[in-house]
Amino acid sequence: MGVLEKVRTRSRAAAQVAPAELPLDQILMGDCIAAMRSLPAKSVDCIFADPPYNLQLGGDLNRPDGSHVDAVTDHWDKFDSLSAYDKFTREWLAEARRILKDDGTIWVIGSYHNIFKVGSAIQDLGFWILNDIIWRKANPMPNFKGTRFTNAHETLIWASSGEKAKYTFNYRSMKTLNDELQMRSDWEFPICGGQERLKKDGHKVHPTQKPEALLYRILLASTKPGDVVLDPFFGTGTTGAVAKRLGRHWIGIERELDYVDAAMERIAAALPLDESQLKTMQAPKAAPRVAFGQLVENGYLMPGAVLTDAKRKHVAVVGADGSLRCGDDAGSIHKLGATLQGAPSCNGWTYWHHEVEGKLKPIDTLRQTYLLATQP
């Protein structure tokens, strides 16, 4: 039995599963709307959708040397009218909303041809847009006709099931991925190429194959190991390959047999990461808040104790209520420190020092001692 026939057999079996079950790590063959209708409500954690863009290309596109440019001219990207595309968009998004868990999120990628229509439908159906992400292409295809700006980006919409929905966002993972800087909403990746680009007989298997790095960031940001990720426009299986690597389950929907064949071979070759590698950083547990007055209350500093800055320029006296006084100025450890420096703010824990055996130490050392003594 060949690979393609195996896929067909698996897909037929997947389509006949009981409603309460999910065809995990399988491709459902056929129309995406019908296939989604076969899935239980509120059953998937994340949806990544790369729907037809309805590019509305007029005629062939050629380079200055006369060579032809591969573009999306496949029948699956063609619609009779904009209203027909609107109807299709709203129907598949309605099914996506039905099968998405209350704490799940959806990602949809598109170009200027379709993303505004998709965004309008997303909002009309009750999703809540969290971000629009710009994928800036490091190596975009030039505008050979010279009649417009070069199209150098695509847009992703990230949305939750509703305004007050709780959803997964692995903030620390994104910050760690970005060298300890907050991850911004403009991402730069090259378009898919090299060994990653799937080809058959010298031609691209799929005209709009997305880079795995893009899906890696999306799934790392918004899913957890074991989550179920649905891709209703599966293509050559980028979502499935990355989900497998990251220890997530996937469900693909695709109607083109050539794409299914390529996707299954690709996913079979994908190697999952070791469990230890999947333990991504999460937000650190917030340290218990300690008020300076608690140190005074508990005898770590007595009222009347003298504090000074590291250069002994300013001297302040501790009050019974945890305030500090320096001459005519008074306030909290933070407020007084800012006032004396003429600064908009001040971290009083590191600015103020107390003397221990002739050496100055920041009062933060007292806070840490207090925490060690009081926390389990």
When pLDDT is cut at 50, 70 and 90, the band that residue 46 belongs to is very high
pLDDT at 78: 63
Q: Give me the chain's average pLDDT, please.
A: 85
- In this predicted structure, the answer to whether residue 12 has a pLDDT above a threshold of 50 is no
Q: When comparing pLDDT for 175 and 239, which is higher?
A: 239
Q: What is the pLDDT of residue 275?
A: 72
pLDDT digit string, tens, across residues 122-136: 999 999 999 999 999
Rounded average pLDDT over 40-52: 96
3-state SS, one letter per residue, for the chain: CCHHHHHHHHHHHHHCCCCCCCCCCEEEECCHHHHHHCCCCCCEEEEEECCCCCCCCCCCCECCCCCECCCCCCHHHCCCCHHHHHHHHHHHHHHHHHHEEEEEEEEEEECCCCHHHHHHHHHHCCCEEEEEEEEEECCCCCCCCCCCCCCCEEEEEEEECCCCCCCCCCHHHHHHHCCCCCCCCEEEECCCCHHHCCEECCEECCCCCCCHHHHHHHHHHHCCCCCEEEECCCCCCHHHHHHHHCCCEEEEEECCHHHHHHHHHHHHHCCCCCHHHHCCCCCCCCCCCCCHHHHHHCCCCCCCCEEECCCCCCEEEECCCCCEEECCEEECHHHHHHHHHCCCCCCHHHHCEEEECCEEEECHHHHHHHHHHHCC
What is the average pLDDT across 151-174?
Answer: 94
The per-residue pLDDT for range 327-357, each reduced to its tens digit, is 999 999 999 999 999 999 999 999 999 999 8
Residue of higher predicted confidence among 167 and 140: 167
Which pLDDT does position 54 carry in this prediction? 76
- Confidence at residue 202, expressed as pLDDT on a 0 to 100 scale: 72
Check residue 92 and give its pLDDT.
97
pLDDT at 56: 57
Residue 277 makes CB contacts below 8 A (sequence gap 6+) with: none
pLDDT at residue 287 in the model: 59
**pLDDT tens digits, 247-297:** 999 999 999 898 899 899 999 988 887 776 777 666 555 557 788 988 988
Chain segment 99-111, per-residue pLDDT in tens: 999 999 999 999 9
pLDDT at 14 exceeding the cut of 60: no
| Model confidence band, residue 140 (pLDDT cutoffs 50, 70, 90) | confident
For residue 75, name the pLDDT band (cuts at 50, 70, 90).
low
The residue among 30 and 190 whose pLDDT is bigger is: 30
Per cent of the chain over pLDDT 90 is 56
Residue 197 confidence (pLDDT): 73
For range 61-76, the mean pLDDT: 49
What is the predicted pLDDT for the residue at 13?
Answer: 38
Q: What is the pLDDT of residues 189-243, one digit of tens each?
A: 888 777 777 777 777 776 677 888 899 999 999 999 999 999 999 999 999 999 9
Tokens of 4: 């393609």
